């Protein structure tokens, strides 16, 4: 499994919104400048978060984006699943139930299922707030 640029930039975008959440709606151009990411690229990422309870939007002069929830309620796993589609380490685990004709006899399937479980537990155990807190701790040292 390899996290794409889209997934990494989406996480950075949401972390930026979390970090600046007390400042009202944040324009993508401001996020782009702070994160050194093209605004056009961010424009392509934002639709992944429409629907669902991820972002609040405001159009117009003071338009932009805000997190719809507290940063402690967003997990890295949920963000990456929205942008990457799947966090499965092998293609056969991208469907439930497993569609592979060999799944009943596959000796390695339990290995891949275990890896997928560890990946999901790890990424679902980290919130945006956790990342901000760790960064603050590093800055205070």
| Average pLDDT per consecutive 10 residues, the chain (141 residues; last block may be shorter) | 93 97 94 97 94 87 92 97 91 82 87 95 98 89 72
User: pTM for this one?
Assistant: 0.90
Identify the pLDDT of residue 131.
Answer: 97
The CATH code belonging to domain 5-140 is 1.10.10.10
* Residue 31 to residue 28: CA distance in whole angstroms: 5
- Cis ω for the linkage preceding 26 (within 30 of 0): no
The DSSP output letter for 48 is: G
Q: Residue 20 has what pLDDT?
A: 96
């Amino acid at each position: 499994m390899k996290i794409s640029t889209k997934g990494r930039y989406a996480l950075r975008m949401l972390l930026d919104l979390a970090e600046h959440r007390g400042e009202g709606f944040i324009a993508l151009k401001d996020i782009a400048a702070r994160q050194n990411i093209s605004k056009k690229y961010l424009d392509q990422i934002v639709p992944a978060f429409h629907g669902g309870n991820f972002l609040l939007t405001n159009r117009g002069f003071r338009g932009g984006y805000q997190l719809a929830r507290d940063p402690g309620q967003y997990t890295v796993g949920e963000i990456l699943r929205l942008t990457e589609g799947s966090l499965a380490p092998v293609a056969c685990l991208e469907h439930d139930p497993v569609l592979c004709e060999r799944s009943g006899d596959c000796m390695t399937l339990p290995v891949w299922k275990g890896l997928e479980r560890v990946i999901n537990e790890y990424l679902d155990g980290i919130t945006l707030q956790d990342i901000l807190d760790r960064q603050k701790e590093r800055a205070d040292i």
